Structure 1
């Protein structure tokens, strides 16, 4: 879970920051929040490329189908193909992930800016 979290976070930031910068240049200043929200959604979806397979492995281990994550990945891929690692579908994880990142980062950035101005 730790490796998954680190990898997903790295992908999120790697997508969020460049996307945000491009969108901020494209959008008028009064729509900068939309740039942050859109970049957050893109980053959340990209991070799900790691989070979804991790969730599949975790769920199957919790039901006792596998005793180790490496065995789970190997056997799921062998029996169901690469697609099997995305069996829960992006809807389960992405609905939560995208809405979380769509709101979290713009709010964090805005509050961080407000705190800097107040200090």
Structure 2
């Protein structure tokens, strides 16, 4: 297995991340508002669905580039030769490492973006300045643990499934899959992973949007899920499932 190209992983991953985040930003805004404690209408409804897009535009390239560089290099480092039964484990470890590294960039961007999405009247830079002024750097990383806790299971499901589907399709047709076939495999894998991890995504959003000093701002995923369960029941933890599925399917 050849060592992956640093430049290729950086550029390809970065461009893919920017394209997905900007094209599907309206869906992301709707998802965030559905997950917010004040509810969809009070959070802005369909008004200002591009609020927070500067934060996404700035963070998406380095975030996606960091993930795919780490993912490809860990896959290369853990290459197991002909031990095919270890391949899914290799993909899981590579994806998990990629998420931990990428979240160092993703979380600050996500915090600013989500707060802008539920407060469309405030400018992105103003929100960024308020966070730094009131909470410091720690405020930008609120929700880091909950984000990693959501992203790692997502990747543990998505990437091994994506790689396995590509391998199966390639074996069935006796040649490497085309780009559109890889996209179909990715759409199915991403949609399935989104369905599994939706409750964790709801908890992550609640923690990031919580007011400073509140119990929810403490970053406890279990507390956030308990509050959603208490106020909305089981449906509350899946109240954005279809939007997450749509975003996952379209992003591939």
TM-score, with length taken from structure 2:
0.41
Q: How many correspondences in the alignment?
A: 117
Offset at residue 109 of structure 1 (A): 1.3
Match of 1:117 in 2: 171
Greater Rg by CA: 2
More helix by share: 1
After TM superposition, the structure 1 = structure 2 runs for residues 1-119 of structure 1, keeping only pairs within 5 Å, are 1-25=56-80, 29=83, 30-64=85-119, 67-88=122-143, 90-119=144-173
- Structure 2 segments unaligned to the other structure (5+ residues): 1-55, 174-252
- Structure 1 segments unaligned to the other structure (5+ residues): none
Q: CA RMSD in A?
A: 2.4
Offset at residue 66 of structure 1 (A): 7.1
Offset at residue 51 of structure 1 (A): 2.2
User: Which range moves more in the overlay, 51-60 or 65-74?
Assistant: 65-74
Q: Could you say which structure has the greater relative contact order, defined with CA pairs below 8 angstroms and 6 or more residues apart?
A: 1
TM-score, with length taken from structure 1:
0.80
Task: Measure the CA separation in 1 of the matches of 2:57 and 2:116.
Answer: 16
User: Which range moves more in the overlay, 78-87 or 32-41?
Assistant: 78-87
